[in-house]
Amino acid sequence: MKDLEAQEFKYLRDLICEKTGIFFDDEKKHYLIRRLENRMRTLGCETLLDYYRFLKYDASGKELINLFNVVTTNETYFFRNIPQLMAFKEEVLPLIISRKRRVRDYELKIWSAGCSTGEEPYTLAMLLLEVIPDIYQWKIQILGTDINTQVLERAKKGIYDYRSIREMPSQYTLQYFHFKDKKYFIKEKIKDMVSFAALNLVDTEHMKSVRSIDVIFCRNVLIYFNPESCKKVVNAFYDSLNKGGYLFLGHSESLYRITAIFKLVKFKNSLVYMKE
């Protein structure tokens, strides 16, 4: 019985990895089962194998969306990892902006890949406002994408509790939020700068639709992926970036052993990958 369950777990985790890039190792078995329990109960699946079969043969693809919503980890907050954000604001952005000004190119595209409930792309919007005084003459696009449709709905609403703003310097809370009934409502000015869309990073075809990006933030996403999926995603990022564009990974994440296509640049505040 035990062996059978272990085998069922392997089928399911391989399917999850194929569809999302996220890898659950043997130690995470019970953690994964806990996350799937509700879905299995709703569908009347008694074993992992029942659920695996349901997923595999569900032609509508709808259960996959439910799966994505339960297997992802969505922890995030405003101003996560301030040294990296300072590298973006004080070093990377000025470089890109002055390069673009020289050739009268006033378009800037920033992508938060794996944006969860939106705190990251909204943080980037606040920083852009500080760095580009003539921002209204620019065509700025900040795109937030995620595989989890539930977090994207929350991102679009832009309503947060204290947990999300806990690390944000208070001047930004005062400037860009309304506070009511213990909730922080992001102001329209910031909301209007960001658009959100569902996108699965391991969907190679869909990834090809994202092009001409100047800076990608993909922080605390690839830590959950297996090395093959990481490589696939990072190669797709390379294709999405403009020449001279930058890729920010989480501060504990690295492309060491994954790929050497990016140049690692050491800024005062942080290490950042660049497409030469």
Ligand X SMILES: C[S@@+](CC[C@H](N)C(=O)[O-])C[C@H]1O[C@@H](n2cnc3c(N)ncnc32)[C@H](O)[C@@H]1O
Residues found near ligand X in the complex (CB under 6 A): 20-22, 72-76, 80, 114-116, 120, 146-148, 151, 200-202, 219-221
CB of 227 to ligand X, least distance (A): 15
**DSSP state letter for 220:** S
**Least distance between ligand X and beta carbon 259 (Å):** 18
Cα distances (Å, whole numbers) of residue 3 to 6, 7, 10, 111, 176 = 5, 6, 11, 44, 55
Closest CB to ligand X among residues 76, 270: 76
Closer by beta carbon to ligand X, 5 or else 203: 203
Angle between the 62-71 and 2-20 helix axes, to the nearest 10 degrees?
100
Q: Which amino acid is residue 119, in one-letter code?
A: E
| Nearest distance, CB of residue 71 and ligand X, angstroms | 8
CB of 141 to ligand X, least distance (A): 18
Q: Residue 275, SS3? A: coil
Distance from C-alpha of 55 to C-alpha of 234, rounded to nearest angstrom: 27
Q: Measured from the CB of residue 116, what is the shortest distance to ligand X in angstroms?
A: 3
Biggest CA–CA distance in the chain, Å, is 68
Taking the least distance from each CB to ligand X, the nearer of 97 and 145 is 145
The DSSP string of 168-181 is: S-HHHHHHHEEEET
CB of 21 or CB of 97, closer to ligand X: 21
- By beta-carbon proximity to ligand X, the closer residue of 177 and 229 is 229
Closest CB to ligand X among residues 83, 101: 83
Would you say the C-alpha torsion 203, 209, 212, 213 has a positive or negative sign? negative
CB of 168 to ligand X, least distance (A): 13
Q: Would you say 142 and 190 are in contact if contact means Cβ atoms under 8 Å apart?
A: no
Residue 198 contacts residue 147 (beta carbons within 8 Å) = yes
CA distance 137 to 194: 17
